[in-house]
Amino acid sequence: MNFDYTEEQTLLDNMVTSFVRDNYDWDTRCNIVKSEEGWKEENWKQFAELGLLGVPFDEAYGGLGGKSADLMIVMEQFGKGLVVEPYLPTVILAGGLISKLGSEGQKNSIIPEIISGNIRCAFAYAEPQSRFDLNDVKTSAALNGNDYVLNGFKSVVFGAGMASHLIISARTEGEQRSESGITLFIVDTKSEGLTLQNYPTIDEYRASEVIIENLKVSKDNVLGKINMAYDAIEEIVDISTIAACSEAVGILQVLKDSTTEYCKNRKQFGQSIAKNQVIQHRLVDMMIEYEQAKSILYMAVTADLSNSDERRKAVSAAKARIGKAIKFVGESAIQLHGGMGVVDEYMVSHYFKRATMIGVLFGNTDYHMKRYMTLTQSGISSSDEAISVSVT
């Protein structure tokens, strides 16, 4: 049992930490999020040079063959810097689906392009009615000769505006909520029949509504087997959820540390407000919530993710628990910063907003709580056996 990083992981951690330190100071970040594009291509090139874009990919395609723990390291440091470049949508979400389902041809043509930083991708799955249910897909794909014709609407697609390619989930068969009958398509974002309505998010990332009208997609651009995409979608979204949790833990650390510093420095009634026990205990509870969030993230990262039941359970446990920590640490950080907490100018509100939106991403606390309960409590039978020892 150990929670230490390997030598390679320590190098990775140091590398991302120095990237954030050297390239992502607060003013720089403010300029990036205010820019037309909402990200900085130069940073992306640097990710490629540092090898970050290849972390989870198989070595056969030029990747580093990293695991969840490696992605955790990257995402935690990105969280600390509120890095807005579309790493999660491109590398983990879309990249994960291509690695999982792609043909040799698709993998050979796309993965090296992602790793070298030439292209970015996004995954369009959510729909206005689907909320967090990955199986709820109305967007349709009908075969017409050698092409599929897609029609439908995809909601809040992160990073779509920066992407050259979208992966779109569409229904090729079955009822709207059926797990079978879902197929994935890889499409060029410039395709006719695809309209992107780009917008900034409240936490200064970028997303798009994607309108799909008679979009023709060649059979060759089907990703994986027809009708059979659901399991892979669930798995890759689970892996991405761990990544999002890692980002959140990085953010929570900044919120906790910066709030502690702020309270030490802020003086009222002639003394530092951190001299008040009521403030001290709130700060301690923030620390405890942060540690508990980090611990359950470690639980998920070290779980046997190749076992789908264990993976589902671990991911939902982590997301639900970290969601609770986000709320407490985030709201406490704002409260303890007082007026400085509610202004746009000071950085704490930005960390709070990002953490809160991660709380929603891939399903909120209630959603994952319910999934966790379904997974852990359905197997209990009503038992007649005598239970004779007291509880403690």
Q: Mask: binding to another protein, 338-367, rule CB under 8 A, as x and -?
A: ------------------------------
The two three-digit tokens of residue 82, written as one number:
């509120």
Listed residue (297, 330, 290) closest to 315, CA to CA: 297
Q: Based on the shown chain and the rule CB under 8 A, indicate whether residue 377 belongs to the binding site for another protein.
A: yes
> Quick one: how far is CA 86 from the chain centroid?
10
Out of 69, 226, 340, 347, the residue judged to bind another protein by CB under 8 A? 69
Q: How far is 301 from 384, CA to CA, in rounded Å?
A: 37
| DSSP letter, residue 92 | I
Can you give 67-78 as a three-state secondary structure string? CHHHHHHHHHHH
One residue of 105, 190, 202, 388 binding another protein per CB under 8 A: 388
Instruction: Indicate the helix (H) or strand (E) that contains 263.
Output: helix 230-265
Residue 329 as a binder of another protein (CB under 8 A): the answer is no
Picking from 310, 312, 254, the residue whose alpha carbon sits closest to that of residue 287 is 254
Contact pick of 3, 41, 173, 343 for another protein (by CB under 8 A):
3
Chain residues 282-321 in contact with another protein, contact rule CB under 8 A: 283-285, 287-288, 291-296, 298-299, 301-302, 317, 320-321
Segment lying near another protein (by CB under 8 A), choices 179-187, 189-197, 270-278, 337-345: 270-278
CB of residue 268 to another protein, shortest distance in Å:
15
Q: Which helix (H) or strand (E) holds 166?
A: strand 165-171
Shorter beta-carbon distance to another protein: residue 202 or 387: 387
Nearer to another protein, 211 or 287 (CB): 287
Q: CB of 315 within 8 A of CB of 238?
A: yes
- Which residue, 55, 61, 65, 123, is CA-closest to 94? 123
Nearest-CA neighbor of 232 among 242, 243, 240, 221? 240
Name the residue nearer to another protein (CB basis): 45 or 67: 67
Q: Both tokens of residue 157? A: 């697609």
Interface positions, 227-266, toward another protein (CB under 8 A): 260, 263-264
Of 51, 60, 71, the C-alpha closest to 9 is 71
Q: Please report how close the Cβ of residue 77 comes to another protein at its closest, in angstroms.
A: 16
Residues 96-155 that bind another protein (CB under 8 A): none
Interaction of residue 11 with another protein, rule CB under 8 A = no
Site residues, another protein (CB under 8 A):
1-5, 9, 69, 260, 263-264, 274-275, 277, 280-281, 283-285, 287-288, 291-296, 298-299, 301-302, 317, 320-321, 369, 372-373, 376-377, 380-392
